[in-house]
Amino acid sequence: MKKIIALQLIVILTLVCFNSTAAEFEKDIFDTSKGELAITFIEHGTLMMEFDGKVIHINPVGRYADYSTLPKADLILVTHEHGDHLDLNAIELISKSTTNVVLTKTCTSQYESGKVMANGESATIQGLKIEAVPAYNIEKAFHPKGVGNGYVITCGDKKVYIAGDTENVPEMAELKNIEIAFLPMNLPYTMTPEMVAESAKAFKPKILYPYHFGNTNTDELVELMKDVKDVEVWIRKLQ
């Protein structure tokens, strides 16, 4: 009897975890020159954006949401090939005949379709300007230079920077006029709170979201940034 009850609990928990709809996730809404930008915080490095009648999914991964219940994508952005960022089944579930997928060259060994963008390239897709920027570890081997992307997405008069898996690389200091930035914060793979703070101080986004932060204490980043003018740190459920 105890085993049966335990199995029932496992089934219930699984249904709770994997039947998440968009309404169950946190969402922030921003005004732009072309209407509202809504950003839904799914988990880890996974986000969804809605802007100008378009749905943009970033790093859709099925372990974080039930993608059969989420809006179909007009645009999908994948930062790199690791399994917590690239999920073929999730891509299939949210794709339609007109969906554009943007990814890196290394992703094509798993997903053969889509538009490959390299560091430094830009393109207008679905009416949105997309810029691919470097994302890499400076000394570690988890994310080699030239392999992964971050993306800058222009939404009207607002630029959103999704950093991907990266450290505080010097190229970040070259970013201009970033309204919203998502910076990863988990060792040993990406950054410490000190590295995130250093990066944010360099290019000064108006709103900084730490994401992909695992068990890192986000209060440390808030403390490091408390005296930095014009940068607000917003914490959401993005472990």
**CATH number of 205's domain:** 3.60.15.10
In a domain, 192, yes or no: yes
- Respond yes or no on whether the N-terminal peptide bond of residue 188 is cis (omega within 30° of 0): yes
Q: Do the domain assignments include residue 130?
A: yes
Residues spanned by the domain of 189: 25-233
14-31 pLDDT tens trace: 333 444 566 689 999 999
Does any domain span residue 152? Answer: yes
Q: What is the pTM of this model?
A: 0.90
In a domain, 105, yes or no: yes
Report whether 103 contacts 114 (CB < 8 A).
yes
pLDDT digits (tens, 9 = 90+) for 85-125: 999 999 999 999 999 999 999 999 999 999 999 999 999 99
What's the CA gap between 91 and 100, in Å, rounded? 11
CA atoms within 13 A on the CB side of 142: 16
Total number of domains constituting the chain = 1
- Is residue 6 included in any domain, yes or no? no
Which residues in 78-121 belong to E strands, given as ranges?
100-103, 115-116
CA distance 239 to 234: 14
